[in-house]
Chains A and B, each alone.
Chain A
Amino acid sequence: MAAQPCIHCGADCGKNPVIWDEKPFCCHGCKTVYQILNEKEMGEYYQIQPMPGIRVTTESSDNKFAFLDNEELKEQLLDFTDGNTSKVKFFVPSIHCASCIWLLEHLDTLNPAISYSTVNFPRKEVYITFRNDQISLRQLAEMLSAIHYIPEITLDQLDKKGSGKTDRNLLIKIGIAAFSFLNIMMYSFPEYLPGSDLLEQEFKNMFGWLSFVLILPVVFYSASDYFLTAYKGLKHKIISIDIPITLGIMALFFQSSYVVFSGHGIGYMDSLAGLVFFLLIGKWYQGKTYEALSFERDYKSYFPVAITRLIAGVEEIIPIKELREGDLILVRNQELVPADARLAKGKGNIDYAFVTGESVPVPKQKDDFIYAGGRQVGSSIELQVVKEVEQSYLTQLWNQKETATVNHSLDNHINKISQYFTIIVLIIAFAAFGFWLTKSLETAVYVFTSVLIIACPCALALTIPFTFGNTMRVFGRKGFYIKKSEVIEQLHKTTTIVFDKTGTLTLSRQMSVEFQGEPLTDEELLKVRSMVRHSSHPLSAALYSQLKSQEVIEPTNYEEIPGMGITGLFRKDRVNVGSKQFVTGSGEADDSKESRVYVSLAGEQRGYFSIKNVYREGLEKVISDLGNSYDLHLLSGDNDAENDRLQQIFGPEAILRFNQSPSDKKTYVEKLKKSGKNVLMIGDGLNDAGALASSDTGISIADDVFSFSPACDAILEADKFAQLNSFIRFTGTSFRVVRASFVISFLYNIVGLSFAVMAVLSPLVAAILMPVSSVSVVVFATLSTRWLASKQLK
């Protein structure tokens, strides 16, 4: 039978698909979901979008959501409850298509206890209203898990609720500015037409007063952010772009108000409202962010919300905040160790994939020390807490929030330009004022305000939001997500790039396998393959996928000894696969630098499989391209087994460091920064979190961008790694677009200023020149960024 995709998730079913209802499935998990949906006549799920399902590879334990029975946590999680009906918001990272929305909004068909559910697609959230006398929160979460939409509940979400309010305020500000702008434009229009002198005085007054009333909310509400940031900048002695903007708005407002009060018309009210409107549009465009992505993750996003504590043998579920030193905790299969602890009972087999990027579990014996952040694989273990969650080694490292990064957003290109700009404009304004003062005071004041009005850097202020905003969007479409537009500028300034190795340069879930020793026959290989098929250990999985054969034979008496290996019988031949200790029986530990899986067949030692990490596709090209323009460094938590190969890829000038602890990495990056380098750190695991936070720009690489990436400035999809170089280079292109746009807006300013200093800046000239300059700069920035991106980013 030819390979066919799974009806549920679209994955290749392989040679032995699970058949149900005459349809192929890749695994029993997918089949079960199909059965559930089929039973409830929800087959439409598969019609809206073919193969929409999510494949779940890690089996979670039955108790995963047991903590939802804890009253305190339940209360924190629920948005609303009146005893009968409750509302809850779940973050479900696996929401990805129209079928997901359909299914999650028809949960009431699955279980009548659910009143209704609504999905917010960009945030990947589902809001569920349910009758809590019929279904508990835990059952609800388990129901979602059963159809493979596993809600992610973390400490982080419990701490902060309801964001996104500022975005709404900005929209309202834009709405009000637009309303006033359009109405004032209507009142101003008669003045621009020939014969406006014939307009009766009472109409002039009325239009003036109406405009004055309409402009008040624009100046004092819509534009209020500009005044605030200008004031804050001044307090820190920084002349930001907001200062000339504020000067312009003030000049426009007072000049025009004077005209209205003296009954001479309506002044520049239309230009003022238009200015604020355009500025806010720019702000909105720039402010678009990836809502479902989180760039601010700290340990709270990874850690479980609750943990099972053992008191005199009785299990009790408590929030991890209440965990104290000396407590005995129970950590089950696939659960995370929340605090530094010592193994008290059971066989530890800790997977530090989130911490180091290395997914091969480390065996731990009784009394061994286990750092927080590891995940237990295998049977349950009991741990004695040594340090509280907040005090644990890694949490402390992540908690050292950077103070140096705060000033980043102020120390940028545009602020430097606006400093000179403001000074020059003020010089011109005062010079013109002095010149006209010899003629008349009234004209001098008029010229002074005219200069401030026309020089208002609207076009200048719009350049960066639109150029960088478009760059962000283009990057996002290509799989490179940026936290905010300032990051583009930081990326452009990069001089030094620091890489992490495991998980960043190597693939975390794929390995190469090589056999060392007496070669195995096909039949023997088949036996090994049949054995490892049953084990979920990453090394077994690597072996299974590498040893290709058509069939499998079932071993008898199969047994897995966690942390050691697997054993089984084929007729009378015992086959052992696993660690050196387990297979050879020698007391000495395996001290080789690579991962090895030893094999013995029918009591005969045959050698070992050496399993190596596989480097990402296109790594060599990316590194050699980057090496041409940047200093390269590599910091690896691993041993130096791969030193030669890496030095060959990175070239002789690169500095490679091995055996680096998380804090070593952080200090190394800080040292580079102190020596005047602009450091770009590229990492993936939580062990890089400190280094990512202290670097100028931190990029984290993630296989699944919606979950598990440490706090950073940008997230790169793992399979887009080969394009890293072109992304960094494109930031330079964005900068050239910004410079070109600056030139255009300066040209407009020269024209405008020449009108102003000659005391002939009429409201009509302002009303035409200001929007035209803004719109042309926006169009130029947008079109050129997109065009260049289509040429330079493939």
Chain B
Amino acid sequence: MSAIILLIVIGIIVAGGFLIAFVWAVRSGQYDDDYSPSVRMLFENKEAKAAEDTKKSEPATKDNPDSKTLTKN
């Protein structure tokens, strides 16, 4: 029966983790704009290509938290 207790504890921790992630996502404004990121994602790939040629966009992407995560992908 102690297996049930273990499972319940794990269940709470996992679910709680997701709850915290959700609250963080809302607080950091990720739900404020549900359109631009979908478009933005498509730009970055092209820009990465351009960056190899011109190196122009190098400093810009460094400062931008959004594009940083996206270029890494």
- Say if A and B assemble together: yes
Looking at B27, B32, B39, B46, the one whose CB has the most chain A CB atoms below 10 A away is B39
The answer to whether A108 and B33 have CB atoms under 8 Å apart is no
Given contacts A121-B35, A176-B19, contact A101 B40 (CB under 8 A): yes
CA distance A118 to B46 in the complex (A): 17
A743 interface residue, CB < 8 Å from B? no
Given contacts A102-B43, A122-B34, contact A172 B15 (CB under 8 A): no
B3 interface residue, CB < 8 Å from A? no
The answer to whether B15 and A179 have CB atoms under 8 Å apart is yes
B64 interface residue, CB < 8 Å from A? yes
Interface footprint category on B:
35 or more
The answer to whether B8 and A210 have CB atoms under 8 Å apart is yes
The answer to whether B63 and A129 have CB atoms under 8 Å apart is yes
CA distance A120 to B60 in the complex (A): 18
Tell me, rounded to whole Å, the shortest Cβ–Cβ distance linking B31 to chain A: 6
B16: chain A residues at CB < 8 Å are 179
Given contacts A182-B15, A210-B8, contact A108 B57 (CB under 8 A): yes
A183 interface residue, CB < 8 Å from B? yes
Residue of A with least CB distance to B16 = A179
Interface footprint category on A:
35 or more
Tell me, rounded to whole Å, the shortest Cβ–Cβ distance linking A152 to chain B: 19
The answer to whether B32 and A116 have CB atoms under 8 Å apart is no
CB within 8 Å of A: which of B2-43?
A: 4-5, 8, 11-12, 15-16, 18-19, 22-23, 26-27, 29, 31-36, 39-40, 42-43
B63: chain A residues at CB < 8 Å are 115-116, 129
Tell me, rounded to whole Å, the shortest Cβ–Cβ distance linking A48 to chain B: 8
From A44, A164, A179, contact of B32 by CB (8 A): A164
The answer to whether B32 and A109 have CB atoms under 8 Å apart is no
Given contacts A179-B19, A182-B15, A203-B4, contact A105 B26 (CB under 8 A): no
CA distance A164 to B26 in the complex (A): 12
B46: chain A residues at CB < 8 Å are 44
CB within 8 Å of B: which of A47-94?
A: 48
Tell me, rounded to whole Å, the shortest Cβ–Cβ distance linking A555 to chain B: 48
Residue of A with least CB distance to B54 = A41
A119 interface residue, CB < 8 Å from B? yes
Interface string of B56-73 (1 = CB under 8 A from A): 110110011011000000
Interface string of A103-147 (1 = CB under 8 A from B): 001101100100110111111000001000000000000000000
Looking at B16, B36, B64, the one whose CB has the most chain A CB atoms below 10 A away is B36
The answer to whether B11 and A183 have CB atoms under 8 Å apart is yes
B31: chain A residues at CB < 8 Å are 168, 171
A319 interface residue, CB < 8 Å from B? no
The answer to whether A200 and B1 have CB atoms under 8 Å apart is yes
The answer to whether A101 and B36 have CB atoms under 8 Å apart is yes
Tell me, rounded to whole Å, the shortest Cβ–Cβ distance linking A119 to chain B: 5
A-B contact pairs, 12 of them (CB 8 A): A98-B39, A115-B59, A115-B60, A116-B67, A120-B36, A123-B32, A172-B26, A172-B27, A175-B22, A179-B18, A182-B15, A210-B12
4 cross-chain pairs, A with B, having the tightest CB-CB distances, nearest first: A108-B60, A121-B35, A116-B64, A121-B36
